[in-house]
Amino acid sequence: MRVGVIISGKGSNLEALLQEAAKPSYPAEISLVIADRPCDGIGIAARYGVPNVEIVPHKDYETPGLFEEELTRLLEEHKIELVVFAGFMRIVHTNFVKHWRNRLINVHPSLLPSFKGLHTHERAIDYGVKYHGCTVHYVNEHLDDGPIVGQSTVRVLDDDTIETLAAKVLEKEHKLLPACVKKIASGKVRIVGHRVI
Ligand code: GRF
């Protein structure tokens, strides 16, 4: 399966995916990486020899719609079958979501449906939850809301800080994301309503 990964930052999830995808038995290849700004993840993509790496600066587009059209154009040009948002820090709109429905996943640093949006680790600590974690889900029209492909948990300890909790969750993301992409690319996943079977 040809996978396109869209990033905005450090790219550690991208790197985890590239490490797994390098194994001969992995059923997906990372054919394209797009960043919406210059960022560290671009260097990672180049280091792993991703064949197509593009920067599409969102600031260069008059509207989010035009920016998203350019993303779709590139993804189509490279015959991408599954789009992965891996630390992509923008919200996408109806046309993009409709076009890529059931072919677009995101990794989010909380156990959805708790703590949608930003600052998830801080909010988890403030709320006092005892378990936190990460979720890989299909993207729908609502923020951090689509059918859940997989989740992974961590304990929240009394002395956890935002930083220690973020590090524990990120480590889980690095295992969860490649595992979920593998399941999808192996054809083992089916969406039934809001559930992923
Ligand atoms: C991850 O925690 C991701 O879930 C969140 O931002 C962080 C980015 O990590 N949206 P990276 O860019 O993959 O290192």
Mean pLDDT across the stretch 38-48?
97
Cα-to-centroid distance, 27 and ligand 1 (Å):
23
pLDDT computed for residue 153 by the predictor: 98
CB 180 within 8 A of CB 149: yes
* Number of residues that this document lists for the chain: 197
Instruction: Pick the residue whose CA is nearest to atom 8 on ligand 1.
Output: 87
Residue 136 — very low, low, confident or very high, per pLDDT cuts 50/70/90? very high
58, 78, 99, 108: the active-site residue: 108
Cα-to-centroid distance, 10 and ligand 1 (Å):
7
Q: Beta strands 29-35 and 53-55: pairing type?
A: parallel
pLDDT computed for residue 87 by the predictor: 96
Taking the complete model, does pTM exceed 0.75, yes or no? yes
Cα-to-centroid distance, 8 and ligand 1 (Å):
9
Cα-to-centroid distance, 108 and ligand 1 (Å):
8
**Is the C-beta atom of 173 inside 6 A of ligand 1?**
yes
Instruction: Pick the residue whose CA is nearest to atom 10 on ligand 1.
Output: 87
pLDDT computed for residue 45 by the predictor: 98
Instruction: Pick the residue whose CA is nearest to atom 14 on ligand 1.
Output: 12
pLDDT computed for residue 177 by the predictor: 98
Residues sharing a CB contact under 8 Å with residue 24, sequence separation 6 or more, in sequence order: none
Mean pLDDT across the stretch 68-88?
98
pLDDT computed for residue 5 by the predictor: 98
Residue 134 — very low, low, confident or very high, per pLDDT cuts 50/70/90? very high
Mean pLDDT value across the chain: 98
Task: Give which of 119, 85, 117 is closest to 17, Cα–Cα.
Answer: 85
Q: Per-residue DSSP letters for 52-99? A: -EEE--GGGSSSHHHHHHHHHHHHHHTT-SEEEESS------HHHHHH
What is the rounded CA–CA span in Å between residue 124 and residue 130? 9
Q: What percent of the chain has pLDDT over 70?
A: 100
| 119 has catalytic annotation | no
**Is the C-beta atom of 11 inside 6 A of ligand 1?**
yes
pLDDT computed for residue 156 by the predictor: 98
What is the rounded CA–CA span in Å between residue 161 and residue 168? 11
**Is the C-beta atom of 13 inside 6 A of ligand 1?**
yes
CB 150 within 8 A of CB 136: yes
- Dihedral of the alpha carbons of 133, 7, 138, 90, in degrees to the nearest 10: 90
Instruction: Pick the residue whose CA is nearest to atom 9 on ligand 1.
Output: 87
